[in-house]
Structure 1
Amino acid sequence: MLELLPGIGVVLPAGAGTLRFGAAAEEAAATLAAVPGSHRARQCTTLIRAGYKQLRHAHDAWLGGILFDRSWNTVAAFGNIVVTVAAGGPDRADRLTLVTVEANTPPDTPATHAVAWDGVDLFVHPAQDVAAALSGPTRPSSPTADDLTAPQLGLWLRRKPRPVDRWSQLTLLDTTTGWEPCCTGTFACSEGGDGLVGILR
């Protein structure tokens, strides 16, 4: 079971350890490196913070997982559950602030490991039931109304287009991500964001 600890980090399955928010890149990489089959992700983009004139666009790219940082590209798979890590925004680029978890499965295939918060398996139960079980207020999140954020938990739930109505992706953030100068909240910039603005035309 992979267990989410909001504000703390993620307990990995099979005794692999805990990814703790605030860890340096080397610490996070060492924790994931102990997992059989973990690897450095292929660099599929060259987007970096310096390429963005506006911080809000960099923030959106980072939150969406397309802002590249060579130090934070270790990936580990637990069966068909894939875990990736990232650092934060300005002045937090050296500390773990984001963990992404994705069920890499066909629509009708259950995850091989539970992804749990407070005893609730987030990827198994119907999306609406999971949303009802989350503590604190929730709201729809970009890019689609199907996404859901629970800001007090630092949790962003997403799903791929699929016939089965359940979550298949999540992002867990440290409560402080370093993007406060541009953003009213962890998951949304005050003036809007688009991670490809000024980069791709």
Structure 2
Amino acid sequence: MWDMNFRRISGLLRRVDRLDHIDRLDAASHSAHEGGEGFSARHHRGVFELLPGTGLTLPRHAGVLRFGMSEREAQWAVATLADVRGTWVCRAGWAFTACYEGLELLAYGDCVDLGVSGFTAVHLHRRGPRLTEPSAVPVVLQDIDLFGYPANEVLAAVEPNLHPTVRLTPPPSPADHLSAVSLSAG
């Protein structure tokens, strides 16, 4: 019920500035229940933020995956969130995956035939069949939570200004939420 009212109030798209209000409510609730000084719920649960031309901000103060950074630096940042596992991506010198609260992150780099060294691209993919609900962790682009609302609404809001290095994967039904997003260096 609260979620339906929130959608009406926020114009059907969750914005990052609205998360600050939720964080204050969560922090007050935590402080009242735990008897502590409170905490920033947003930093506790985190937000992935796509930064075209720069990289990906990781939740929980884990840092930023910056295009061009080394494999070791990228793995170190992601390892503060989740277990990192090596994988293989065609035409990439290195690749790894990690799962964080229902999202699978695939990062890779050193794409020699593309002339790019270091961290080159990242894909965030929702795990599980529940595309009718928002993801547990917001994935933000242009202050819009890409996995927070039905794909048709999100696409209508971001597609006119979508950066060419960002790719959105629509779900089988436009009423479902987006299933994946990719960001590349170029």
User: Is the pair's TM-score, using the shorter chain for normalization, greater than 0.5?
Assistant: yes
Give per-residue Cα distances to partners, 1:80-109, cap 9 Å, x unaligned: 011111223525353212110011122244
Q: How does 1:180-199 map to 2 (within 5 A)?
A: none
Distance 1:115 1:33 in 2: 18
Q: CA deviation at 1:2?
A: 0.6
Q: CA deviation at 1:34?
A: 2.4
Hey, what does 2:95 align to over in structure 1? 73
Q: How does 1:123-142 map to 2 (within 5 A)?
A: 123-134=147-158, 136=160
Give per-residue Cα distances to partners, 1:136-167, cap 9 Å, x unaligned: 45xxxxxxxxxxxx3x3411111343585221
Task: Indicate which of 40, 51, 57 corresponds to 2:86.
Answer: 40
- CA 1:166/1:8 → structure 2, altered by over 3 Å: closer, same or farther? same
Give per-residue Cα distances to partners, 1:2-58, cap 9 Å, x unaligned: 1111111100111111100111222212222222322223x5xxxxxxxxxxxxxxx
Distance 1:68 1:89 in 2: 7
Distance 1:9 1:163 in 2: 27
The percentage of counterpart residues that share the same residue type is 28
Is 1:21–1:174's contact at 8 Å kept on the other side of the alignment?
A: yes
Q: Secondary structure at the match of 1:14?
A: coil
| 2:126 corresponds to 1:103 | yes
Which has the larger helix fraction? 2
Q: CA deviation at 1:111?
A: 1.3
Unpaired runs of 5+ in structure 2? 1-46
| 2:182 corresponds to 1:159 | no
- CA 1:68/1:8 → structure 2, altered by over 3 Å: closer, same or farther? same
How many residues of Structure 1 are paired with residues of Structure 2 in the alignment?
A: 138
Give per-residue Cα distances to partners, 1:162-196, cap 9 Å, x unaligned: 58522110111113xxxxxxxxxxxxxxxxxxxxx
Distance 2:174 2:128 in 1: 13
Distance 2:167 2:185 in 1: 12
Q: Secondary structure at the match of 1:22?
A: coil
Task: Indicate which of 146, 166, 172 corresponds to 1:122.
Answer: 146
Hey, what does 1:172 align to over in structure 2? 183
Q: What RMSD over aligned residues (CA atoms) do the two structures have, in Å?
A: 2.4
Distance 1:110 1:161 in 2: 16
| 2:48 corresponds to 1:2 | yes
Which gives a bigger RCO, structure 1 or 2 (Cα 8 Å, sep 6+)?
Answer: 1
Q: Which has the larger radius of gyration?
A: 2
Task: Indicate which of 84, 90, 94 corresponds to 2:106.
Answer: 84
Hey, what does 2:62 align to over in structure 1? 16
